[in-house]
A and B are shown apart, each in its own frame.
Chain A
Amino acid sequence: MTIELESIRHQVADADEAIDFCFRQGWSDGLPVVPPTEDRVAGMVQASGREPDDVVGVIADREIVITVEKVAVNAVLAGCRPDYMPVVLAAIEGICDKRWAYHGPSTTTSGPAVLIIVNGPISRELGINNGDNLFGPGWRSNLTIGRAVRLVMRNVCGSIPGILDRATHGHPGKLSYVIAENELDSPWAPFHVDRGFSQEQSTVTVIAADGPRQIFNQLSSTPEGVLTTMADDMRISGGVIGQTHYIVLLAGEHMEIMQKHEWTKRDVRRYLFENTMNNYAHLRRTNRFTGPAKPGDETRIRPLVSNEDMIFVIPAGGKAGAFSSYIPGWAKESWSYAVTKEVRK
């Protein structure tokens, strides 16, 4: 099948010049990119199983249309393998979903990244890391899939730092922020089943999110013990004002404790919900809410999240080490919902 690609072509002398050219054009996220030649882009489009001019998503209000071809060019830039395309496309569909509400998370000074959680068979087929160095370097799939999404945001949607991306600090997840769930070792139904999909389906969930916060507990041998440490850290953290999603990642040693004591995800969520309450007096004294503490504020309680289902519990991370992490979502749930899309091959 001959694939007709419509993108403008730019001529450069050779592959070395091509890398500098891509930098100079502002197409890069700061790292060298793979020059997007016709063969490479055609290979990406072919692997998607879709036509190059198929619309993947539309950013409402900005009249930005994202086609398969443009995703393919940016996937090449990112260094993706062609078989990553269905995952990249699902993530783009997710951020274009009205519920994700692109404008807010992509422009705000609070600088969230796009956390991408991959579930189902595709995560294993593509070797998307769910273990050691969960957020770290070394996995082409994790790093290039996330990078492709960010490059689409930059190059197609115009989310460029200082222009339409006004993050004060941002965080390293804005280069790439992709993880998979450790479904095979988990006693629980996987995250995408919670989200309404079947185990056999593959999905991508996109969440506007802050950076991960790691907690350490080597002393406890009970779920309550481990989660008390986590709750203490979570209680005053990113989402304390707005009530947003929280993503809790339980790594190997802590998951063993949960499993040994037969705790369900619901048990974990409930414990964390109940133990991450603040009172208004504290929130005012620490200048998170305005004004001095008023009578009754000491006993007026504000939960961290609006309800316990806002806490997503996911087994992921290495087997060794008494560490787990949580990730605060962005701002307020209603400003950008977590969105899950099926990966279609």
Chain B
Amino acid sequence: MNLEAVTASLDAVRQTLEASGFNLEIEERETAKLTVTVRPGPDACPECLVPKSMFKRIILDNLGSAELSPSSVVVRYPVDLA
């Protein structure tokens, strides 16, 4: 997986998150599986996040040419990091 290309594709999503105080982490933890983590910063606004299901769709829609299937994208939200 070309993580550089994926990161570039998700730049607009990153900016969206940063505006609400969250950071976006992108990793390939398992082969061919993209893990996207939304990590709260010190000024994070918890009510500002869209539901996880919608966020996953935003990721998939913005991945464009990477064309990963829904089952190969794992989203970790702040609640999953506790």
Contacts and interface: CB of A to CB of B under 8 A. Distances in A.
A240 B69 CA distance: 54
Q: Which range holds the interface residue count of chain A?
A: under 10
A8 B54 CA distance: 8
Contact of A4 (B51, B54, B71): B71
Interface string B30-61: 00000000000000000000010110010000
Main secondary structure, interface of A, reads: loop
A8 B71 CA distance: 15
A6 B60 CA distance: 13
A9 B70 contact: no
Interface in A1-58: 4, 6, 8-9, 11
Q: Which range holds the interface residue count of chain B?
A: under 10
B51 A11 contact: yes
B71 A9 contact: no
Contacts of B54: 9
A6 B51 contact: no
Contacts of A4: 71
Of the listed residues A4, A8, A9, A11, the one surrounded by the most CB atoms of chain B closer than 10 A to its CB is: A9
A243 B9 CA distance: 63
B25 to A, nearest CB: 22
Contacts of B57: 8
Contacts of A8: 53, 57
A11 B50 CA distance: 10
A4 B53 CA distance: 11
A4 B71 CA distance: 9
B1 to A, nearest CB: 21
Contacts of B70: 6
Nearest to B57: A8
Interface of B: 51, 53-54, 57, 70-71
8 contacts: A4-B71, A6-B70, A8-B53, A8-B57, A9-B51, A9-B53, A9-B54, A11-B51
